[in-house]
Amino acid sequence: MRKLSSAWSGFWFSPEPTSTLAIFRIVFAALTFFWTLSLLPDLWAFFAPDGVEPPHPIDLAHGDWGVLNLVDTRAVVLALFIVLLVGSLALLVGFRTRLASIVVFVGIVSFMQRTPSIFNAGDVLIRACAFFLMFAPAGDALSLDRLRRNRDSFWEFPSRAPWALRLIQVQVSVLYVASVWEKLHGAAWRNGTAVSLSLGLQDFQRFAAPGFIVHSLVISTVLTYLTLAVELMVGLLVWNRAARPLVLALGASMHLSIDAGLRVGFFSEAVLTAYLAFLSPAAATACVTALRRQRSRFARARWRLSPAGEHTAVDVEACSGDV
């Protein structure tokens, strides 16, 4: 029991470099920015008081709350939209990161609770990740907050307890296992026709699938059961370090295929962003280091090519030292 307790405590609270969290924060903030922009074309239709779905009173007992359920005017809708855009940009660069993460979460919840019928599982995953990110030390690396505290240590990744990042990992695992469980209760998934039916939904088609795939019972059955197998493998085997790269690659391939054929909002992008939570700190640090080296090479190249066509070696070394 002591070993089990030690392993459990280590899983949640043993300090790890914050490189993985920094990469996740940046990519998630960019995703949130574009998610917010996607609301703009139908902002009044979906969220204004005279929109397609009338505002409803808050029911805290069912977790129903949000800014637009308190005050729903066009001015408030526009203000919330702008605040969410600014908050996602602040989260992206790591400026007042904790406050920015709170703003992002409240903004996402407010829009989703105002008109829940237009959102899907991908939006729910974005909301969940925003919630967990509020409690993470997301501004401790690759952020303006760290740059303001200590310019010389900007490229360092201090070790922190990873429990918030672990919750995102658990969320991904639960998402897949629950998805398989729910699908197995549907007749189309059990008899192998689910993929064929999905590809035949013309309203959701991005590109029409070839007819021999849509109308072939054999191909549809194989793809349907393959989808269930991949989801189950990701949900369970993602915790095995040896199997993790393979199952995440399979999951990424599946979601990219779905996104290529069907318009499913930000579902695939949200899942792929959540995959970043499984990136090991060593791999995340290596990625940042590689990008930093590329930036350094690019800076050196710019200094070598002046408008006159030449630059001194002293200038090049000075530039590389600044980088």
pTM exceeding 0.85: yes
* pLDDT class of 246 with cuts at 50, 70, 90: very high
Higher pLDDT, 214 or 76: 76
The secondary structure of residue 48, as a DSSP letter, is S
What is the C-alpha to C-alpha distance for residues 306 and 317, in angstroms, rounded to an integer?
15
Instruction: Decide if pLDDT at 323 tops 70.
Output: no
Percent of the chain whose predicted confidence (pLDDT) is above 90: 66
Name the β-bridge partners of 16: 160
Q: Do residues 56 and 104 touch, judged by C-beta distance below 8 A? A: no
- The pLDDT of residue 321 is 38
Instruction: Decide if pLDDT at 317 tops 50.
Output: no
Token readout for 247 is: 């199952």
Instruction: Decide if pLDDT at 203 tops 80.
Output: no
**Mean pLDDT on 289-307:** 72
Give the residue ranges of DSSP H helices in 38-161.
Answer: 43-47, 67-70, 74-93, 97-114, 121-133, 144-149
pLDDT digits (tens, 9 = 90+) for 167-180: 999 999 999 999 99
Among residues 128, 130, 132, 131, the alpha carbon closest in space to that of 166 is found at 132
Q: Which residue is associated with the tokens 């406050």?
A: 99
pLDDT digits (tens, 9 = 90+) for 133-152: 999 999 999 999 999 988 88
Instruction: Decide if pLDDT at 316 tops 50.
Output: no
* pLDDT class of 312 with cuts at 50, 70, 90: very low
- The pLDDT of residue 255 is 94
Higher pLDDT, 100 or 306: 100
Instruction: Decide if pLDDT at 156 tops 60.
Output: yes
Q: What is the DSSP string of 236-290?
A: HHTTSTTTHHHHHHHHHHHHHHHHHHB--TTHHHHHHHHHGGGS-HHHHHHHHHH
Among residues 201, 204, 198, 254, the alpha carbon closest in space to that of 229 is found at 254
The secondary structure of residue 160, as a DSSP letter, is E
pLDDT digits (tens, 9 = 90+) for 26-35: 999 999 999 9
pLDDT digits (tens, 9 = 90+) for 91-135: 999 999 999 999 999 999 999 999 988 999 999 999 999 999 999
Mean pLDDT of the chain: 88
Higher pLDDT, 204 or 88: 88
Instruction: Decide if pLDDT at 311 tops 90.
Output: no
Instruction: Decide if pLDDT at 38 tops 80.
Output: yes
Q: Give the number of C-alpha atoms closer than 13 A to the C-alpha of residue 201, restricted to the C-beta side.
A: 13
Instruction: Decide if pLDDT at 243 tops 70.
Output: yes
pLDDT digits (tens, 9 = 90+) for 60-90: 656 667 888 888 789 999 999 999 999 999 9
What is the C-alpha to C-alpha distance for residues 264 and 10, in angstroms, rounded to an integer?
37
CB neighbours of 45 closer than 8 A, spacing ≥ 6? Answer: 51, 52
What is the C-alpha to C-alpha distance for residues 87 and 29, in angstroms, rounded to an integer?
9
Q: Which residue is associated with the tokens 């690019």?
A: 298
* pLDDT class of 50 with cuts at 50, 70, 90: confident
The single-letter code of the amino acid at 250 is L
Q: What is the DSSP string of 298-318?
A: HHHHHHHS-TTS---HHHHHH
Percent of the chain whose predicted confidence (pLDDT) is above 70: 89
